[in-house]
Amino acid sequence: KPVVSVGSYSSNVYPRSAAILHMLRFVLGDDLFWRSIHHYIEKYQFHTVETNDLKLAIEEETGQNLYWFFDEWFYRAGHPIFNVSYDWSDSAKAIRLKVAQTQTMDSLTGVFRMPVLVQIETPAGGVVDSLNILSQDTVYTLPAPAKPRLVLFDKGNWLLKELNFQKPRAEWSYQAEKAPGPVDRLNAIKALTLEPDSDDVIPLLSRIALHDPFWAVRSRALSGLDDSFTQNDSMKQMIKSTLIAACRDSNSHVRDAAVSALGTRRGDNVVSALHTALNDSSYTVVASALRSLSKADSAHAEPVLLTHLNMPSYRNEIANSALTSLARLDSVRAVDVALEKVHYGEYPWTRAMALWVLGHYGKQRKEVVPLLVTLLRDKNEHIRMSATRLLGDMGDNSVLPALEAIATDKENSDAKMAKESIDKIKKRNA
């Protein structure tokens, strides 16, 4: 929906507006953009402002009328969906780039007008062209002295858009490994894994996962390594070896991706790598190692999980992972632990996880329902709401008086949830 509209808050106004300001920086260029922002802040400091004040400040500083940009992005809705393809003519030494906008058009979403950078790379070198998108369907003729190895639409990923670029598989492979921009490499990995071909994709992703300079690309390549892509045992071994090697990556996000993926693998080398990961400097990696170990070595994992139930970490991430992993191996033991951890005084995130365990594995335990009733008056709102919802899911008629006392209290903020749980119980037992 439009940024400037009634009810435009949270997930719409903040990330969308950030993306729009990023595009505005591209349209104006760094110098004019920052000069405009400086002028806007100085002019309106200590004042209430609206969107149009930003537009006026930019006009005053740059002399440019950006009505079209603000109307398109702040006052209207949607985003462009580009379908792009190209073909190269040897005789003309040029490419024909076809660009079509396919988004649904209505009163708030039309054809988007935007500049865009297109990079063409050939064995003779590379060139970047700046195009103006002005219509729904356009064909551009751009010089290319040799057959391109790579064509990038929206170099730098400035535009808020969806992009469907039809190009040969060999070009996607080249882009995944050689494109200068990490977003372009990420997009290529995505395209390649939509139609996996084990003969080239697994070795390619393995190289990228271990050697790409940007951590997010390495992490995405790891997530694309899937045993289902191949029936070749040597390829499956390559995947496992890559994951184990990536457990030693310098970036914790990459190590976490590798450790998480090892949960579906088996073997002494996998178990050894996961035990090593339990000493990682990242709480998140340790938590993932516990989850993976409970799958990869389920026969011997329980003692390890028990030793981590009280290990301190941010938001008790490690202890929470140990508890949920324990629940999958030994639900009786996990429920016993959850009954202790759910009480007021324990860390809130662990209490929430304990409630999850009780809701999934403790429904048949006679002490669970009375305990949940006591939590209806807990000091923590999240715990109260979770307990209320769980009682509704369990469908025990004996809790109706406790829920009705809350539902009929007009001053109680939990009344709505209590009413929903009452309705659920009555419907279930009708």
**pLDDT-based confidence at residue 413 (cuts at 50, 70, 90):** confident
Read off the pLDDT band of 8 (50, 70, 90).
Answer: low
What pLDDT shows up at residue 198? 61
d(CA 21, CA 14): 11
Convert the pLDDT of each residue in 233-270 to its tens digit.
Answer: 898 999 999 999 999 999 999 999 999 999 999 999 99
Span 264-280, pLDDT tens digits: 999 999 999 999 999 99
The token pair that represents 189 in the structure block: 């990995």
Strand order in 150-153's β-sheet?
125-133, 114-122, 150-153
Question: Are 19 and 159 spatial neighbours (Cβ–Cβ below 8 Å)?
Answer: no
Chain mean pLDDT for the chain:
93
Contact yes or no for 379/409 (Cβ under 8 A)? no
Q: What is the pLDDT of residues 22-37, one digit of tens each?
A: 999 999 999 999 999 9
- pLDDT tens profile 86-95: 999 999 999 9
Q: What is the pLDDT of residue 232?
A: 84
Parallel, antiparallel, or unpaired for β 114-122 and 150-153? antiparallel
Task: Please tell me the predicted confidence (pLDDT) of residue 124.
Answer: 87
Neighbours of 373 (CB within 10 A): 18
Does residue 46 come out as left (phi exceeding 0), alpha (psi in the -120 to 50 range) or beta?
Answer: left
When pLDDT is cut at 50, 70 and 90, the band that residue 57 belongs to is very high
Are 192 and 224 in contact by the 8 Å Cβ rule? The answer is yes
Whether 84 contacts 153, CB under 8 Å? yes
How far is it, in rounded angstroms, from Cα 68 to Cα 139?
23
pLDDT for the residue numbered 1? 84
- Kindly list the distances between the CA atom of residue 399 and the CA atoms of 179, 308, 357, 381, 393, in Å, as whole numbers in the listed order: 61, 35, 20, 19, 12
Q: What values do phi and psi take at 178, rounded to 5? A: -115, -15
User: What percent of the chain shows pLDDT beyond 70?
Assistant: 99
